[in-house]
Amino acid sequence: MNRAIVSTNEIFTRFGPYRVMSFEPATLDQLLAQAVGADSAVASELRALFLASATMHVASLSQARSIGPWREEALKLQGLAASFGMTGLMDAAARAALARPDPLLLDALADALAACR
């Protein structure tokens, strides 16, 4: 007889050890080189697109005057950063998504983005 699994503890007990997904810290250039090759024109294009998109999200955050647009942009930035493995920017965006518009958080996001360059 099959029964529903009722807790995550039961899942881990039934199916054994698990691995937590994690990101290994690296620079944007290192990550792109691993994905598509160091001398690839694709890597250069992806790098430019990432930086342009992330810059656009930070600029949109600077214009947000209420929680809704602020949170929406912060979550978009968090997802973008996660897609590229940029953990510093991802963490800063996650903090911003949980807060109200804040100039100090905006500065932290700008610093995290600068660290990606």
pLDDT of residue 72: 96
pLDDT of residue 21: 45
Token pair 């290192």 in the structure block, residue: 30
Q: What is the pLDDT of residues 57-106, one digit of tens each?
A: 999 999 999 999 999 999 999 999 988 888 999 999 999 999 999 999 99
With a CB cutoff of 8 Å and minimum separation 6, the contacts of 100 are 67, 70
Residue 104's CB is within 10 A of a number of other CB atoms, namely 8
Q: How confident is the model at residue 8 (pLDDT cuts 50, 70, 90)?
A: very low
pLDDT of residue 2: 46
Between 52 and 14, residue with greater pLDDT: 52
- Residue spans per domain, the chain: 27-116
pLDDT of residue 34: 77
Q: What is the pLDDT of residues 30-63, one digit of tens each?
A: 777 777 777 778 878 888 899 999 999 999 999 9
> What is the rounded average pLDDT of the residues 7-21?
44
Residue closest to 95 by CA, chosen among 108, 79, 82:
108
Does this model's pTM top 0.85? My answer is no
